[in-house]
């Protein structure tokens, strides 16, 4: 599953627990950038820069957000990835606290769970100190392709590279990834199949798992159709989730809602209005229509959503998961 969006609510509530705190042990501090995106946030690169870094025991790494999309920095120490949905007895589905909030202390020795929790927004960071030599894999719990490695040498071992060398290689890798993402975006457009019963437009939501790329757009941002035509949105990104949501005259629903507790941080729940399809198969010119969560890897999420347009008008829709990145589309329906 991809971005949970809970951080947006926490920011609104003034909760600062998403950034790891604590005093680092003596040693050198290194820097890794988390994610990258294009200026309009349409292209998202789910990677770490540098992807592999070598430090000494006693050194720290500060992981700093380089994109708008949420990410985590999580060392699982060989444990299974936590599920991103926890069904509750009352029917609600909870977003897990051990993903939302930082786990472990300010240091990591290769055992247990150490995680930044959700990091959201440019410049947000998390620092951890490595106390034991070893080779440690870490990952983003929201994006399965996003994996990095920290190699920890014994204290006093000469470093293979300087921070400046890592930064230079990271800039090159980031530029190449964004260029590939821009090319993917140019190549991603809705297609049309005409028939006597109307035209079927297929709009792909694309990504490239191997290159760690996602497009936070609907292929054709504006699609012009006629009354009686159908638009089918197809989820083609193995590293993300999206929705197709027409809010109608009401406000756009939040993806995650917070439930304050008497003590401690709030619980987070997926908005039930977003989880399931709604509105039927034909858009009648007004009302709320929603695909549910589209995700091609793990059931029960559907992988496509179709809507027939029966009234003329201009209709805006969103992916409610990626509103901050501007994932919005427009359907213009004419007679």
- pLDDT digit string (tens) for 247-269? 999 999 999 999 999 998 999 99
- d(CA 155, CA 166) in angstroms, rounded, equals 20
**DSSP 8-state secondary structure symbol assigned to residue 53:** E
b vs e for 146-175, b when ≥16 Cβ sit within 10 Å of the residue's Cβ? bebebebbeeeeebeeeeeebeeebeebbe
Do the two domains 6-183 and 189-334 of this chain adopt the same fold?
yes
Q: Structural domain boundaries of the chain?
A: 6-183, 189-334
What is the arithmetic mean of pLDDT over 58-62? 98
Sheet with 74-75: list strands edge to edge: 52-56, 147-153, 134-139, 74-75, 114-115
Domain spanning 189-334: CATH 2.60.40.420: yes
pLDDT at 24: 41
pLDDT classification of 300: cutoffs 50, 70, 90: low
pLDDT at 290: 98
Q: Is the preceding omega at residue 50 within 30 degrees of 0, hence cis?
A: yes
Average pLDDT over the chain reads 92
- pLDDT digit string (tens) for 135-192? 999 999 999 999 999 999 999 999 999 999 999 999 999 999 999 999 999 999 999 9
Percent of the chain surpassing pLDDT 90 = 88
The answer to whether 188 and 206 are in contact (CB under 8 A) is yes
- d(CA 14, CA 16) in angstroms, rounded, equals 6
- Which range has the worst mean pLDDT, 5-19, 24-38, 161-175, 320-334? 5-19
Q: Which residues contact 187 (CB under 8 A, 6 or more apart)?
A: none
Q: Does the pLDDT of residue 21 top 90, yes or no?
A: no
**DSSP 8-state secondary structure symbol assigned to residue 242:** B
- d(CA 152, CA 136) in angstroms, rounded, equals 8
The answer to whether 203 and 172 are in contact (CB under 8 A) is no
SS3 252: coil
pLDDT at 10: 41
- pLDDT digit string (tens) for 109-131? 999 999 999 999 999 999 999 99
Residue 271, judged by CB atoms within 10 A of its CB (0-12, 13-18, 19+), counts as middle
pLDDT at 87: 95
| Superfamily (CATH) of domain 6-183 | Cupredoxins -  blue copper proteins (2.60.40.420)
Q: Which residue do the tokens 């009354």 mark?
A: 227
């Amino acid at each position: 599953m991809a971005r949970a969006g809970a951080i947006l609510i926490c920011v609104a509530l003034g909760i600062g627990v998403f950034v790891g705190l604590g005093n680092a042990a003596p040693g050198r501090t290194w820097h890794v950038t988390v994610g990258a995106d294009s200026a309009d946030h349409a292209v998202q690169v789910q990677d770490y820069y540098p992807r592999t870094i070598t430090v000494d025991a006693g050194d720290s790494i500060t992981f700093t957000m380089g994109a708008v999309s949420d990410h985590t920095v999580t060392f699982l120490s060989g444990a299974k990835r936590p599920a991103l949905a926890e069904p509750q007895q009352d029917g609600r589905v909870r977003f897990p606290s051990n993903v939302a909030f930082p786990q472990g202390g300010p240091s990591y020795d290769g055992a247990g769970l150490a995680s930044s929790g959700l990091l959201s927004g440019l410049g947000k960071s998390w620092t951890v100190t490595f106390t034991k030599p070893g080779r440690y894999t870490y990952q983003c719990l929201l994006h399965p392709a996003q994996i990095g490695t920290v190699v920890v040498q014994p204290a006093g071992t000469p470093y293979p590279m300087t921070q400046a060398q890592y930064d230079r290689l990271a800039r090159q890798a980031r530029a190449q990834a964004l260029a590939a993402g821009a090319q993917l975006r140019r190549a991603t457009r809705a297609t049309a199949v005409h028939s006597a019963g109307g035209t079927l437009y297929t709009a792909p939501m694309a990504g490239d798992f191997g290159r760690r790329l996602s497009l936070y757009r609907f292929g054709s941002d504006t699609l012009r159709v006629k009354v009686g035509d159908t638009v089918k949105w197809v989820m083609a990104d193995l590293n993300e989730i999206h929705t197709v949501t027409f809010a109608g005259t009401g406000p756009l629903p939040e993806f995650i809602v917070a439930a304050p507790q008497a003590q401690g941080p709030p619980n987070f729940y997926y908005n039930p209005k977003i989880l399931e399809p709604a509105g039927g198969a034909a858009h009648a010119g007004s009302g709320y229509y929603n695909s549910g969560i589209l995700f091609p890897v793990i059931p029960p999420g559907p992988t496509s959503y179709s809507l027939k347009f029966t009234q003329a008008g201009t209709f805006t829709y969103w992916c409610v998961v990626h509103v901050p990145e501007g994932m919005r589309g427009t359907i213009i329906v004419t007679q």
